[in-house]
Structure formats: structure tokens, C-alpha cells
């Protein structure tokens, strides 16, 4: 993440110098148009860089985690963490599966869970910083 922040800051500083220069070389109107373009480019660059490493974090609350975990291990070649939970409203014991995967795999997992365990609760969260085996290292 540090590299992305540094890159974006360098681009913004460089472009700011160009925008300020355009005010002196041309006129204020051209400078304001340049500033608008700079802001738009900054937002686009931020979003593009952020989306390059975007992954999906799944939290699946279900009664029987085994078929879902088997699909994750065998078909998606990913891993998962399973832990016990207690429903606050129903007071029933549930299982929670947590798994992280690439976007294409996420679609497959979501479809599998919807098809084979339609009563499961799924929370899918975007993440751009996944560090560990199968993703980026700590270095």
C-alpha cells in the first residue's frame, strides 16, 4: 500500500506543478480546467490502483460448513477458517466460514452457496490488502 500512496502523491505533485504553470502560461480559465482534470485523474488513478489487488472476503453463516469448505478446497483451490458461533436472536449454534479469494472465484462460491445452502447468510467484503499464503507476502 505504501507504494501506491507514494506513486499517487508523486503524480499529484507533478500534475499540480503543471496546473499552476498553465495559469501563468495561458490564463486562469485554462488553469481551472487543468485543475478539474487533475482532480478527475487523481480519483481515477486511485480507483484503478486500488482495484488491481482487490479480493473478496467471505463470511458465511451456516449450519453445515463441510460441503462449502470442500468446494472451497477442491474446486477453488483456496482455504477457509471455520469457527462456531451462537445466534443472538435464535440462540442456535451456527458455523461461520471465513475465506478470501479472487473476484472470479468469489462468483463461483456465491453461486454454490446460493444453490446448495440457500438458508446460509453470506457477507462479502472487498479488500485490497490481503497478505499471506496464496496472496502477497509480508515483504
Task: Report the percent of the chain where pLDDT is more than 70.
Answer: 83
Orientation of helix 28-52 relative to helix 2-25, angle to 10°: 170
- What angle is formed at CA 47 by the lines to CA 42 and CA 49, rounded to 5 degrees? 95
Task: Categorize the per-residue pLDDT at 37 as very low, low, confident or very high, splitting at 50, 70 and 90.
Answer: confident
Give me the percent of the chain exceeding a pLDDT of 90.
Answer: 44
The answer to whether the beta carbons of residues 129 and 52 sit under 8 Å apart is no
The whole-angstrom separation of Cα 23 and Cα 19 is: 7
The pTM is what?
Answer: 0.66
State the pLDDT at residue 111.
96
With contact defined as beta carbons under 8 Å apart, do 77 and 28 qualify? no
Q: What is the mean pLDDT of residues 51-63?
A: 87
- Confidence category of residue 137, pLDDT binned at 50, 70, 90: low
Cβ atoms of 55 and 101 closer than 8 Å: yes
Q: Calculate ∠ Cα 33-39-40, nearest 5°.
A: 90
Find the mean pLDDT for residues 14-36.
Answer: 81
Amino acid at each position: 500500500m505504501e507504494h501506491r500512496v507514494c506513486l499517487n502523491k508523486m503524480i499529484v505533485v507533478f500534475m499540480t506543478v503543471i496546473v499552476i504553470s498553465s495559469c501563468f502560461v495561458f490564463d486562469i480559465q485554462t488553469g481551472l480546467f487543468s485543475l478539474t482534470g487533475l482532480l478527475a485523474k487523481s480519483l481515477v488513478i486511485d480507483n484503478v490502483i486500488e482495484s488491481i489487488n482487490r479480493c473478496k472476503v467471505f463470511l458465511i453463516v451456516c449450519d453445515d460448513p463441510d460441503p462449502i469448505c470442500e468446494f472451497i478446497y477442491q474446486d477453488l483451490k483456496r482455504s477457509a477458517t471455520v469457527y462456531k458461533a451462537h445466534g443472538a436472536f435464535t440462540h442456535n449454534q451456527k458455523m461461520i466460514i471465513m475465506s478470501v479469494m479472487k473476484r472470479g472465484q468469489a462468483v463461483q462460491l456465491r453461486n454454490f452457496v446460493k444453490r446448495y445452502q440457500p438458508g446460509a447468510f453470506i457477507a462479502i467484503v472487498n479488500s485490497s490488502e490481503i497478505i499471506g499464503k496464496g496472496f502477497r507476502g509480508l515483504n
